[in-house]
Amino acid sequence: MFTTVSSHQNPSRVSGGFYDLPADLFGAIAALKQDLNAIVLAHYYQDPDIQDIADYIGDSLGLSQQAASTDADVIVFAGVHFMAETAKILNPHKLVLLPDLAAGCSLADSCPPDAFAAFKAAHPDHLVVSYINCTAEIKAMSDIICTSSNAVKIIQQIPDDQPIIFAPDRNLGRYVMEQTGRDLVLWQGSCMVHETFSERKIVELQIQHPETEIIAHPECEPAVLRHAHYIGSTTALLNYTQRSDRPSFIVATEPGIIHQMQKATPQKQFIPAPPMNQCACNECPHMRLNTLEKLYLCMRDRQPEITLPADTQTAALKPIQRMLELSR
Ligand code: 13P
Ligand code: SF4
């Protein structure tokens, strides 16, 4: 049985007409997974229905580890472009699909390759540690990749006398400097979502609900991080809410993660940290471009596919492998 979806619901795929979509998208995606021998990897910032159909849901490190170890023939990446790109770099001979090719990242965009090459040239002798939220070109110019869950651990393994460039997120970089006591040369990039939270509103909310704990992602600005009881990657935040004895949390990261928090501990309350404006700008507009419909269509049509120039792919692989080794 088929229903139709309007261009309004499915804007990126419609060029002057309607598409037929199966009524049971969950069932159709499950069947395509079998036909293609595909694995669906999803980040916690995806819509809840995408999380519910995924074979694996995780933070950037967990997703990279899954991509590195899967024996599926096709990787369907429900996340943003740099994540799917990382999966392709790890699997040059596999088909890697991204439901919406326009799902980018403001943080990755804040570090253009030409400007970064000049920055690197101005700091000879520096080792380049780049946060995974960057393009394949930036990865190809880096020595080691890190994620928010292993950045501190990786910097701690680098000899003390080795100068380091940390790119592209200045907030994570500052946090790592505090945690390690190391002096890092920071690229001044940032994430539009994590810089949207209002310190004043978060503090007011906590005064109104004194039983809550504030938990935050290290991509948040220092003004927010200084009020946090716990700081960590999305997986670390999820795990923390399960072991804390507090009944409620103010969650300073993209609110997609709350779906898993609520599932893991339904008796607890999770309050999305308020943004500065009266907007939904704490939702990542890039992550949210993916929909269940686009996930189905990309599997049905085997596109959009992630492709990369061979030299970039080869150069970007080394620093990712280095990260995977140093994270063991
Ligand atoms: P993690 O899931 O690795 O914590 O990263 C958060 C993020 O911003 C992904 O874009
Ligand atoms: Fe990029 Fe920020 Fe969106 Fe993560 S939440 S994908 S860092 S824009």
How crowded is residue 200: how many other Cβ atoms within 10 Å of its Cβ?
A: 10
Cα 3 to ligand 1 centroid, rounded to whole Å: 35
Pairing of strands 19-22, 2-5: antiparallel
**What amino acid is encoded at 61 in this protein?**
L
What pLDDT is stored for residue 9 in this prediction? Answer: 40
What pLDDT is stored for residue 320 in this prediction? Answer: 98
pLDDT tens sequence across 3-51: 333 333 444 444 433 467 999 999 999 999 999 999 999 999 999 999 9
Ligand 1 pocket check for 313: Cβ under 6 Å: no
Q: Which ligand approaches the C-alpha of residue 190 most closely?
A: 2
Ligand 1 pocket check for 46: Cβ under 6 Å: no
pLDDT tens sequence across 96-119: 999 999 999 999 999 999 999 999
Percent of the chain with pLDDT over 90: 92
Closest to 299 (Cα-Cα) out of 100, 33, 54, 26: 33
Atom of ligand 1 nearest to the CA of 237: 4
- Domain residue spans of the chain: 12-104+286-307, 107-191, 199-272
Q: Which ligand approaches the C-alpha of residue 217 most closely?
A: 1
Closest to 41 (Cα-Cα) out of 70, 82, 18: 70
Cα 35 to ligand 2 centroid, rounded to whole Å: 32
Ligand 1 pocket check for 60: Cβ under 6 Å: yes
Tell me which fold the domain 12-104+286-307 belongs to: Rossmann fold (3.40.50)
What pLDDT is stored for residue 19 in this prediction? Answer: 62
pLDDT tens sequence across 227-269: 999 999 999 999 999 999 999 999 999 999 999 999 999 999 9
Atom of ligand 1 nearest to the CA of 147: 3
Which CATH number applies to 199-272?
A: 3.40.50.10800
Same topology for domains 12-104+286-307 and 199-272, yes or no?
yes
Cα 55 to ligand 2 centroid, rounded to whole Å: 22
Confidence band, pLDDT 50/70/90 cuts, at residue 328? confident
Cα 131 to ligand 1 centroid, rounded to whole Å: 10
**Candidates 3.10.105.10, 3.40.50.300, 3.40.50.10800, 3.40.50.2300; CATH matching 107-191:** 3.40.50.10800
Sheet holding 38-43, edge to edge: 56-58, 38-43, 74-78, 95-97
pLDDT tens sequence across 48-87: 999 999 999 999 999 999 999 999 999 999 999 999 999 9
Which residues, judged by CB distance below 6 Å to any ligand atom, belong to the binding site of ligand 2?
80, 105-107, 133, 191-194, 254, 284, 286-287
Q: Over range 280-300, report the average pLDDT.
A: 96
**What amino acid is encoded at 235 in this protein?**
T
Contacts of residue 167, defined as CB under 8 A and 6 or more positions apart, other chains included, come to 111, 116, 119, 128, 129, 130, 131, 134, 138, 142, 173, 186, 187, 189
Q: Which ligand approaches the C-alpha of residue 149 most closely?
A: 1
How crowded is residue 123: how many other Cβ atoms within 10 Å of its Cβ?
A: 13
- In angstroms, the CA 31 to CA 169 distance is 39
pLDDT tens sequence across 208-233: 999 999 999 999 999 999 999 999 99
pLDDT tens sequence across 160-202: 999 999 999 999 999 999 999 999 999 999 999 999 999 999 9
Tracing tokens 């899954």 back to the chain, one arrives at: 66
**Whole-number average pLDDT of the chain:** 94
